[in-house]
Structure 1
Amino acid sequence: MAYATLSDNVYGGYFIPKGATIIVNQWALSRDEETAPDASRFDPSCHLTADGQLKDHFVNHTTAFGFGRRICPEAVIYH
């Protein structure tokens, strides 16, 4: 999903002008070797602790479900 900036901003040393289109790189985020070694291989156990609970990283970061505010998709008006 793409987002547009509401004002000029600086993030990580980069200038992002008002109205710029920002697209999250979900592919890169899901292949973080620190949280999911060998991420290209299907291995659900990388999300679990030794006792079968979800690792904190996956409980607190739900990148699979998108970014930004949460609203009902049917309520979005496309221009």
Structure 2
Amino acid sequence: MNMMTRHAPNEPWIAQLFSAKSARKGAVVRRSLAWVDREVGRDRFMQEVKCRGFHLIQTADQFVVVCHSGPIRILF
């Protein structure tokens, strides 16, 4: 399955995800792997997170985006 799909830069999912109050305040947003696969594809999602300088964590069936570019430390 090819997860790379071409998308326009002004797609609604980008605005919806990264304009969320938590994303603007440097907190976290999360999306299920199924949502990412269905709506945009993992490669595209990771590209958008990376270009913003955010951190991406995968846990179980979720992606967690830490919406700031500062250091993070996973304690346990």
Q: TM-score, normalised by structure 1?
A: 0.24
Which one has the largest radius of gyration? 1
Q: TM-score, normalised by structure 2?
A: 0.24
Please identify which structure carries the higher strand content: 2
Please identify which structure carries the higher helix content: 2
Bigger relative contact order, structure 1 or 2 (CA pairs below 8 A, ≥6 apart): 2
